[in-house]
Amino acid sequence: MKAEHYVGGVFRADGRTFPLIDPVDGSELGTVPEAAPEVVDDAVTAARAALKGEWGALGDEDRAAALRRVADGIEARFEEFVAAEVADTGRPRAFAETVDVPRAVGNFRAYADLLYGRPERSYTTRIPGWSAGTGQALNYTVRRPLGVVAIISPWNLPLLLSTWKIAPALACGNAVVLKPSEETPSSATLLARVVHDAGLPGGAFNVVHGHGAGAAGEFLTGHEGVDAIAFTGESATGAAIMRNAADHVTPVSFELGGKNPALVFADADLDAAVDGTVRSTFTHSGQICLCTERVYVERPVFEEFAERLAARAADLHGYGPMISAEHRDKVLSYYRLAAEEGATVLAGGGAPAFGDERDGGFHVEPTVLTGLPETARTVREEIFGPVCHVAPFDTEEQAVGLANDSPYGLASTVWTRDLSRAHRVAPRVETGIVWVNCWNLRDLRTPFGGVKASGIGREGGEYSLDFFSEPVNVCIQI
């Protein structure tokens, strides 16, 4: 797959390039063009022109139809999208087949439906009614697009997370400039092909490739022609983007990092809790923002739980690599730090040796740690690898306190068979999402996002439509 920019309906790959590396064996997969400021500028100008032209003139029904054509186009190229995600990330094929590509299709269909599938819930008109008090005016609210929306996406779920923002942004009538992660350019290029073939007017959707700081990402998020920024990535990057966007008071929607806790109570179905924590810690080698990195277990079952989790971790096979040599080194540096901080390593703790070409890739072992104080950096900082620290607690109060003692607040899991406890604990855990006796069970209509350093705002269903459109109140005196 050759990565190309897509600007104003035209594919181009001018300027400097950088290599795309296969994380499975370290070989070079191809080259990626690095967007110079002029390319970013062209994309923003093309997006603005689309808003003033054919794209901006489309009604809800036609935009919904366009989104459905994009969904169909992704489905028609299912195999190519699977291949692109697998090549760029090294993820197991089954993951791309069952998660990434179906969810991308689902993202476009869900927002087409929300926009023009159920007219009674149309986002364009809300809460018409008499003005409170006087009864002499009719107020109603219409929604209009924000304008040019910059979308910056990470490498961990490249297609799923970018379409999670692209679909509602387009549904609301915005024009989009996407800057995918420099590590994973392929599915974004393919998506541009699909959008092109689906006949969306040139400029409605644009893709510029390149790096973040001091490069395409920074040019785009600081561009005065950008009306809103939707970003998923690290919290520190979010802070840099916010500073960059401040000069133009550009609104932001941020989905950022996490250090997600799991609370396992002694009354839990322990088999389900172990199974669930294996999934929540090690799925996609821990490279999902929702993955668990801190596990707190009620003391009577602590030892049994930790041993069973460690045994399962040691027995994992077929897991994918870290995305890059740099990220592998970062995760391994935390494994070393954990040892220095005094951790007991129950499973893993290093890099595996396969004795084949995978040894040139970026694998790390699934790792279970215990014995660290809550102040340890390993327990406080996001590692974003297949690793968790397991610690005991004695009371419900203490469990909630431990879960909340973090700068982050994205997602948590609570394992208990006590219904009252579940309802007591869940609202007190300071995360945007709390899963009880499950993990990553998603309904795309529900609010998704984090508190504290894990994000700003919520996306999902109508929450996304709220961010990607501007409410305008019309007041008519009668």
What does the alpha-carbon distance between residue 418 and residue 78 come to, in Å, rounded to a whole number? 43
The residue within the footprint of ligand NAD, chosen from 6, 116, 123, 155 (CB under 6 A), is 155
Structure tokens at 241: 């983007």
CB of 213 or CB of 472, closer to ligand NAD: 213
Residues 6+ apart with CB under 8 A from 449: 255, 432, 433, 455, 456, 457, 458, 459, 460, 463
Cβ-closest position to ligand NAD: 212
Q: DSSP states of 75-103 as a string? A: HHTHHHHHHHHHHHH---HHHIIIIIHHH
Name the residue nearer to ligand NAD (CB basis): 201 or 361: 361
Is there binding between residue 345 and ligand NAD (CB under 6 A)? no
CB of 206 to ligand NAD, least distance (A): 15
DSSP bridge pairs for 13: none
Whether residue 38 lies in the annotated active site? no
User: By CB under 6 A, is residue 450 in contact with ligand NAD?
Assistant: yes
Minimum Å gap between C-beta 253 and ligand NAD is: 10
Q: Of the ranges 64-72, 254-262, 277-285, 392-400, which one interacts with ligand NAD (CB under 6 A)?
A: 254-262
The CB-of-217 to ligand NAD minimum distance in angstroms stands at 2
Shortest Å, Cβ 451 to ligand NAD: 11
Instruction: Determine the angle formed by the axes of helices 158-171 and 78-89, rounding to 10 degrees.
Output: 130
Coil/strand/helix, residue 130: strand
> Between 169 and 198, how does the x/- string for binding to ligand NAD read (CB under 6 A)?
----------x-xx----------------
C-beta closer to ligand NAD: residue 55 or 164: 164
Binding residue for ligand NAD (CB under 6 A) from 56, 203, 257, 321? 257
Near ligand NAD in 201-240, by CB under 6 A: 211-213, 217-218, 221, 232-234, 237, 240
**CA–CA gap between residue 209 and residue 4 (Å, rounded):** 7
Closest approach of ligand NAD to the CB of residue 231, in Å: 7
In angstroms, the Cα distances linking 215 to 3, 38, 181, 209, 211 are 17, 11, 12, 10, 5
**Which amino acid type is present at position 212?**
G
Catalytic residue among 255, 365, 382, 430: 255
Q: Choose the stretch contacting ligand NAD; rule: CB under 6 A; options: 75-83, 134-142, 147-155, 260-268.
A: 147-155
CB of 161 to ligand NAD, least distance (A): 6
Among 455, 457, 460, 461, binds ligand NAD (CB under 6 A): 455
100-128 in b/e form (b: 16+ CB < 10 A) is bbbbbbbbbbbbbebbbeeeeeebbeeee
Rounded Cα gap, residues 397 and 105, in angstroms: 42
- In 3D, which of 336, 429, 341, 430 has the Cα closest to residue 385? 336
**The one among 44, 82, 110, 161 contacting ligand NAD by CB under 6 A:** 161
**C-alpha pair distances (Å), 419 with each of 296, 305, 321, 430:** 19, 21, 38, 19
Q: Which of 4, 255, 293, 430 binds ligand NAD (CB under 6 A)?
A: 255
- Report the nearest approach of ligand NAD to the CB of residue 432 (Å): 8
> Please, which residues have CB within 8 angstroms of residue 229's CB and are 6 or more apart in sequence?
149, 150, 151, 152, 221, 241, 245, 250, 251, 252, 253
Write out the residues near ligand NAD by the rule CB under 6 A.
152-156, 161, 179, 181-182, 211-213, 217-218, 221, 232-234, 237, 240-241, 255-258, 289, 382, 384, 410, 450, 455
Give the residue numbers annotated as catalytic, written as ranges.
Answer: 255
